[in-house]
Structure 1
Amino acid sequence: MAYYEVQGRSNYYMEFGQGRPILLLHGISNSGRAWGPQIPALVAAGYRVIVPDHAGHGASAPLTAPFGVADIADDTEHLLSRLGIGTLDVVGLSLGGMVALELALRHPARIGRLVVANSFENTATEEFKAMSEGWARLFEEPHGPVMRFEQNWQVSVSEAFRESPEGMRTCQVWHGIAATSHGPSLAHVARGIAGFDVSGRMAGLAMPVFFIAGALDRMSPPDLSRRMAEKTPQATLCVIEGAAHISNADSADEFTARLLGFLSSQPG
C-alpha cells in the first residue's frame, strides 16, 4: 500500500528493492520523484529504498496549519513504525536534510549513516524567516507553486544541466509536479520550517555523517555545510563542483557515486 495514515491525514510513499533500509527525504515544494536519479543505483547496491512525499507535498494530503521540521519528522517516524523498520540509513536534501538531522538527533542509535545535502542547521534567523515568508505568500497566489518553480529553476540547478536533455526532461516533470501542488499546504510548510535550529546540537550526532554541498549553491552555500561538518564528530564534507542547490539532480552521477562511496566505507 502506497499510503499511511497519521493524525487523520493520508501520506504517500514508495518502496524499491530489498536489503538494508535507506530513507530518502526531498526538499520543499518537490516530491519523492526528485530522487529518481539515485533509486536504481541504491537498489542495485542492495538497499531497500523508502521514498515518502512530505505532508502537503506530492501525492500526500493537504495541510490546514503551519507544519515544521519536527512535524515532518513525526510523520516519518509513523511511516518507519508502520514498516517495522529499526535501524536504517537516512539521506536528506535541503528541507529533507533538516528532517534527517532532526531524526538523527532524536534516534542516534537507529541511524547507521546520515547524509545531509545542501541543507541548513538553523532557519531561526531573520533572513531565513523573510525568505520563507516570501515563499509562503507566493505559494498562496493563484498558480503560486508554478510561479515559484519558474522563478527558482535557474538557481536550483546549474546552467549546464538546464540546457541538457536530462535537464529539460526534469524541468517538464517538476513543472508538472508544481502545477498539481496545493499552494496553501506549501505555504504552511514554508512558514512552519522557519524556526528550526540544531546548530548547538551537532556534536550529538553519533553516527558517520556525510555533508554534500554544491559549489554553485546560492541558497545553501558550501560554507554552511562546512560549518556543520566542523561541529560534527564523525563528519565528511564533499563540495561538488558545478552543482547548484539540487545537487542530486544537476550532478546526479557524481552525487550518486559519492553517496555510494560513503555508504560502503568503513567507519572512522
Structure 2
Amino acid sequence: MIQAGYLTVRGALAYVEQSGSGRPVLCLHTAGQSGVQWRQTTERLAGLGYRVIVPDLPGHGRSEPATGGPVRDLGDYAQWCLELLELLDVHEPFVVGCSIGGKIALDVGVRAGEGLAGVVAMAADARNSRTSVSGLRRELEDAAAPSRSDRTYFGTLAVVGRSVPPERAELIATMHRREDPLVSTSDLLGWATHDLRASVHRIACPTHLVVGDDDLWLDVADVVWTAQQIPHGAVTVLEGIGHYPMEEIEDFADLLHGWLVELAVGRTATSGHGSTRAEE
C-alpha cells in the first residue's frame, strides 16, 4: 500500500509517496515529470523489502513551486533531497534517479559523504555534452516553442529504446506531455550546465551508473568515464533501452533490486576498487 502526504520543505509543500519498510530507497524522476514515473516500480520494490520514497520535486506533479521560481541549478534539488530525507528521519538510504534525477543522485552522493548506502544513476553523467544550452534558453519564451507539448511527445518517442513495444512507448510519450514547459526547460538547463567532473571522485558509497545504448541524449563514453572517476563505481549498458529504463523495462523493480543488492555487498566490502562493466 502506498501512503501519500505533504511535507513543508524550504517553505513550500512537497508531495511524497512512501511504501514498504526496510532499507530506504529515494527514487527521483526526470526533467519536468513527477513521481508517477515510478508507479510500476514502487509497490513491487516495497514487496522486495524496501521503504520506497518517491517525491515530486518542487514545481513538479503535486508539489508546490519552489519559492524562488523554477530551479536551474540541480545542486538546489540535491540539497532539497537531503533536507527531505532529514525531515523523514531517513538514514543511509539508497538514492536512485533517472536523467536529471540521476545527476541529482550523483550530487547527493557527493554531498552525503558516507551517509548513503549506494547510488543508482540512470541516464546521467558528470557533464552532459549533447544538449544545446542556447536552444533551451530560447525555449523559455513561449513564442519560441509554440508546440512544446508535441515536441515533448515526439522527443520522448525518439529516445525510447528499440526493444520497447510500440504501445508501451506510446504510453510513456503520452504521459510525458503533462509537464510544465517552463519547469522542464529550467530542469534541462540545469542538466546541461551542472558540472560534477571535479567532484564525483568524492562519492564514497558504491555507485552504479546505467545507460541505454539507444539513449540519444547521452554519450555512453561519458557515462563510462564518470563511473571510472568514482572510487566504487560501475556502469551497465542496457541493450535496446533508451532514456527511461524504469518506464521502458517490464519488471524493472526486480532489475533494480539486483543492483541494490550488489551495492549493499559493495558497501560492506573492506577493500576493492571501482569496476566498469557492460550488461544487456
Please report the TM-score for the alignment, with normalisation by the length of structure 2: 0.83
Encode CA deviations 1:172-193: one digit per residue, 9 max, x unaligned: 4333xx1xx4333334333444
Q: Given residue 150 of structure 2, which amino acid in structure 1 is its aligned partner?
A: M
The yes-or-no answer on 1:228 pairing with 2:226 is yes
**Corresponding residue to 2:90 among 67, 79, 85:** 85
Aligned ranges for residues 142-157 of structure 1 at < 5 Å?
A: 144=148, 146-157=149-160
Look up the match of 1:38.
41
CA contact (8 A) 2:59 2:70 kept: no
In 2: Cα distance, 1:172 partner to 1:127 partner = 23
CA contact (8 A) 1:132 1:194 kept: no
**More helix by proportion, 1 or 2?**
1
Encode CA deviations 1:108-153: one digit per residue, 9 max, x unaligned: 2211111011112114x69542353355446985673x23322312
Look up the match of 1:170.
172
Give the gaps of 5 or more residues in structure 1: none
Same amino acid, percent of matched pairs: 25
CA contact (8 A) 2:162 2:214 kept: no
Look up the match of 1:208.
206
Aligned ranges for residues 54-69 of structure 1 at < 5 Å?
A: 54-63=57-66, 64-69=69-74
Query: How many residues get paired?
Result: 260
Q: CA deviation at 1:80?
A: 0.9
The yes-or-no answer on 1:25 pairing with 2:22 is no
Give the gaps of 5 or more residues in structure 2: 270-280
Give me the CA root mean square deviation: 2.5
Encode CA deviations 1:37-86: one digit per residue, 9 max, x unaligned: 32233111100000011111111123425432111112212211111112
Please report the TM-score for the alignment, with normalisation by the length of structure 1: 0.86
Q: Given residue 240 of structure 1, which amino acid in structure 2 is its aligned partner?
A: L
1:158–1:52: structure 2 CA closer, same or farther, 3 Å change rule?
Answer: same
Q: CA deviation at 1:221?
A: 2.7
**Corresponding residue to 1:130 among 103, 128, 134:** 134
Q: CA deviation at 1:29?
A: 1.4
In 1: Cα distance, 2:37 partner to 2:19 partner = 15
Secondary structure of 1:101's counterpart equals helix
CA contact (8 A) 2:154 2:173 kept: no
Q: Given residue 71 of structure 1, which amino acid in structure 2 is its aligned partner?
A: D
Secondary structure of 1:86's counterpart equals coil
In 2: Cα distance, 1:150 partner to 1:65 partner = 21
In 1: Cα distance, 2:259 partner to 2:7 partner = 31
Q: CA deviation at 1:215?
A: 0.8
Secondary structure of 2:195's counterpart equals coil
Secondary structure of 2:224's counterpart equals helix
**Corresponding residue to 2:261 among 250, 260, 264:** 264
In 2: Cα distance, 1:220 partner to 1:201 partner = 20
1:138–1:93: structure 2 CA closer, same or farther, 3 Å change rule?
Answer: farther
CA contact (8 A) 1:242 1:251 kept: no
**Corresponding residue to 1:218 among 209, 216, 228:** 216
